[in-house]
Amino acid sequence: MPSGLAAAQDDIAWAEHLVIFFPLWLGGMTALLKGFLEQVARPGFAFKGESSNPFRHKALAGRSARVVVTMGMPALVYRYWFRAHSVKALERNILGFVGIAPVHETLIGSIGQMDEAGAARWLGKLRELGRRAD
């Protein structure tokens, strides 16, 4: 196992709350985030085989997560028109699969038009969420 992978798994193993920054480009997860999740959530770490079912034991149960999604479109359009499909897939098919729950989301839209004051407001909101581990 590469040493960077072992270090990432060690960080996740002791964490009670995970924060994932998810830049939404071209309607889906970036290749870098997908690759990271595929490597970190390997069998033997994120789920452990018991008896005849190798996916039965969700080894990351007891952890919560917040997914922070940045995008160019307005967040309300993504949430209600597109039904936040990529985020829901991440929550259900990856995080939920390995036992991480609950998963909260923060959608930050129209980042291309955001000025410094808007960015500072979002940073303040994210810092507050971090203080509360929410």
Domains of the chain, residue spans: 3-132
- CATH: 3.40.309.10, 3.40.50.360, 3.40.140.10, 1.10.3720.10. Which one for 3-132? 3.40.50.360
| Contact of 25 with 69, CB cutoff 8 Å | no
CA dihedral 84, 90, 95, 100 (to 10 degrees): -10
Q: What is the DSSP letter of 1?
A: -
Structural tokens at position 65: 């997560």
Q: Which stretches in the chain have pLDDT values below 50?
A: none
What's the predicted TM-score (pTM) here? Answer: 0.80
Distances (CA, A) of 107 to 11, 21, 51, 79, 113: 25, 10, 40, 8, 15
Per DSSP, helices labelled H in 62-107 are 75-76, 85-89
Chain segment 85-109, per-residue pLDDT in tens: 888 888 888 888 888 899 999 999 9
Q: How far is CA 84 from the centre of its chain?
A: 13
Strand ranges for the chain from DSSP E: 17-23, 47-50, 53-58, 64-70, 103-108
Structural tokens at position 45: 């770490």
Q: What is the pLDDT of residue 125?
A: 95
Q: What is the pLDDT of residue 4?
A: 75
